[in-house]
Amino acid sequence: MFGYGKMSACAVASMSALAEKHGDGTALSSLQIAENRNLSQPLVAKVLTALSQQGLVHGTRGPGGGYRLARDPARISIYDVVDIFEGHRETSACPFGPGWCGVGEPCPLHDTLVGLNESAAETLKNITFDAFVGHAKRPG
């Protein structure tokens, strides 16, 4: 099913932190994002590199450097981010195990699972990062 793995979850969390700062000129380092979202800094750095390569964030080095969203958060969906890390995954894993679906008749749950996967993808396409703009994480 279309879902979140560790990399996707970290990427969504990182993007949400950047969206919170969108418009105020603030750039965040991978360390700042990691500390803000209670994530591993090396993992955040890795996902930011992938997000940068895909044109969703851009980074600058040096004093005042860091990462920013590369475009308006209203134009970046959760799907855009998750698809980078999960889009290559097999999404039609048959509950009967390999060798059932795709060989002869599909399993009894095939249509239901395909529908759930499509519904999840559509939902993620309709949720954008503008929901986070100006909504900083509250201390826990």
Helix axes 78-86, 110-125, angle to 10 degrees: 130
Range of the domain at 17: 6-132
- Does residue 121 form part of some domain? yes
133 CB-near residues (< 8 Å, 6+ apart): 19, 20, 22, 23, 73
> Which CATH number goes with the domain that contains 71?
1.10.10.10
Q: Tell me the per-residue pLDDT of 55-66, one tens digit each, with 9 for 90 and over.
A: 999 998 888 789
Residue 103 CA neighbour count, 13 Å, CB half: 7
Q: What pTM was estimated for this model as a whole?
A: 0.83
Considering its fold, how many domains does the chain have in total? 1
Phi and psi torsions of 87, nearest 5°: -60, -25
- Does residue 139 form part of some domain? no
- Does residue 138 form part of some domain? no
Q: Tell me the per-residue pLDDT of 70-95, one tens digit each, with 9 for 90 and over.
A: 999 999 999 999 999 987 655 556 67
